[in-house]
Amino acid sequence: MRDISIIGIGQTPVGEHWKRSLRDLGTEAVLAALEDARVKRPDALYVGNMLSGQLSRQENLGALIADYAGLRGTEALKIEAACASGAAALRMAYVAVAGGVHDVVMACGVEKMTDTLSDETTTGLVSAADAIYEGEQGLSFVALNALLMQRYMYEFGYQREDFAGFAINAHRNAVNNPCAMFRKLISQEAFARTRMIAEPVSLLDSSGIADGAAAVVLASTEFAQAHGLLSVRIAASAVATDSVALHDRDDPLVLQAARDSAQRAYAQAGLGPDDIDFFELHDAFTIMAALSLEAAGFASQGEGVRLALEDQISLQGRIPICTMGGLKARGHPVGATGLYQVVEATQQLRGQAGANQLQGCRVGMTQNIGGSGAVAVTHILERVE
């Protein structure tokens, strides 16, 4: 298997892009990443997306984005894994290059969520869950996270205000990210006062519904070095699954897929949680941030929230998370999110993270989760000296 590096990154700002379509956003990110990599034409393009069929009545995104980006003829496919579609597209690109099938491959994540009214977008999002036994019962995707948060508070003795640190940290880091959706600070008081979506999950526990696209170009590390490209190597790439329905799990408070994919990634990289300098995790809701920290081995069960309470997740903390705003404040254009995480981690490892630059960081981990924990994609990235 060949050693793989990220040789180009591109992203659009995350937000409500009323003037721009799904294809406009995807094309912009693809072209930006190709320019950054100084590559004209990749061997293949994998497009991560979750909702285009439901919200834009558009499928066949691989061919569409390739054509609009001037890559007509290239191998191009859409990859879907709910909210983990972006990182899943990267996984497929990694497999293609590592296996020697292709030399230079792109992964692009794109999502357009604001062409529809919010009830329709809410209905689209619940398709990440079990359509018959969760969706048809009237549960929203937010409600599934609310069931997790309520049980977590009950089992481990927390109040909803204890989760505020996750949202406050994300907003604080988004202020300095020009591509972030919510570039303003929030306070503990604002968190306490905000309106409920599905109790105990409030507006400020939840990531923003948004449009956006992000892309990366991969090549063998050998290719990157021969062409003098600034590179960050992929030390690990791993996917694991769990039941789609929350009620089918032995302990819903254990994100088994997240735990398994992290363990596989650690084994591939020959590293452990102590070696990770920062973690771009899947904070779609504050409870997901807590459970992800536990699943990836940064806290024991019931202790994930404590990292936020003690502010160990800030840029100066023991394990910085959401360094450019995370899903909460950068925004969560679902199928694009996994690639935003990887673009931001690459910025940190290249020393291009601006005011949020972590000093001396060498290893970063990203984890993108689909559904209420049904699929998790973990990547470990390492700076090449």
Partner 1 sequence: MSLASYWRTSKQRMSLVGEICPHCGAKLFPPRDVCPKCSEPAKEPFAFSGKGVVYSFSTMYVAPKGFEKYAPYVVALIKLDEGPLVAAQLTDVDKSEVHIGMPVEMVTRKMREEGEDGLILYNYKFRPLLQKVAS
Q: Which stretch binds partner 1 (CB under 8 A): 34-42, 131-139, 267-275, 288-296?
A: 131-139
Q: Is 373 in the site for partner 1 (CB under 8 A)?
A: no
Output 151 or 350, the one with its CB closest to partner 1: 151
Q: Which helix (H) or strand (E) holds 221?
A: helix 221-226
140 binds partner 1 (CB under 8 A): yes
Count the alpha carbons within 13 Å of 53 in the hemisphere toward its beta carbon: 11
The residue range among 125-133, 283-291, 295-303, 361-369 that interacts with partner 1, by the rule CB under 8 A, is 125-133
How many CA atoms, within 13 angstroms, populate the side-chain half-sphere of residue 28?
18
Residue 151: Cβ within 10 Å count? 14
Q: Which two tokens stand for residue 46?
A: 């994998």
Would you count residue 135 as binding partner 1 (CB under 8 A)? yes
Does residue 302 belong to the site contacting partner 1 (CB under 8 A)?
no
Return the number of the residue (155 or 310) whose C-beta is nearest partner 1: 155
332 is catalytic: yes
Dihedral of the CA atoms 42, 43, 48, 49 (nearest 10)?
90
Q: Restricting to residues 246-285, name those near partner 1 by CB under 8 A.
A: 246-249, 252
Is-contact 181 14, C-beta < 8 A? yes
Q: Which is nearer to partner 1, 135 or 351 (CB)?
A: 135
139 lies in the binding site for partner 1 (CB under 8 A): yes
Using CB under 8 A as the binding rule, the residues of this chain from 221 to 250 that contact partner 1 are: 243, 245-249
Query: Interface with partner 1 includes 380 (CB under 8 A)?
Result: no
Least distance in Å: CB of 303 to partner 1?
20
Q: How far is CA 333 from CA 272, 292, 305, in A?
A: 30, 19, 25
Whichever of 4 and 198 has its CB closer to partner 1, that residue is 198
Residues linked to residue 109 through DSSP beta bridges, in sequence order: 48, 214
CA distance linking residue 49 with residue 358, whole number of Å: 30
Give the other-Cβ count within 10 Å of 368's Cβ: 37
Give the residue, chosen from 31, 53, 95, 151, that forms a contact with partner 1 under the rule CB under 8 A.
151
**Which one of the spans 11-19, 115-123, 175-183, 262-270 is the region binding partner 1 (CB under 8 A)?**
115-123
- How many helical (H) and strand (E) elements, i.e. helices and strands, does the chain have? 13, 11
Contact between 159 and partner 1 by CB under 8 A: the answer reads no
Stretch that binds partner 1, among 37-45, 56-64, 130-138, 217-225 (CB under 8 A): 130-138
147 is an interface residue for partner 1 by CB under 8 A: yes
CB atoms within 10 A of CB 21: 15
282 is catalytic: no
57 binds partner 1 (CB under 8 A): no
Amino acid at 211: D
Catalytic residue among 17, 102, 171, 332: 332
* By the rule CB under 8 A, 301 interacts with partner 1: no
* DSSP string over 287-349: HHHHHHHHHTTSS-TT-HHHHHHTTTTSTTSSS-B-TT-IIIII---HHHHHHHHHHHHHHHH
**Residues classed as catalytic:** 83, 332
- Interface residue list for partner 1 (CB under 8 A): 118-120, 122-123, 126, 132-140, 142-143, 146-148, 150-151, 154, 195-201, 243, 245-249, 252
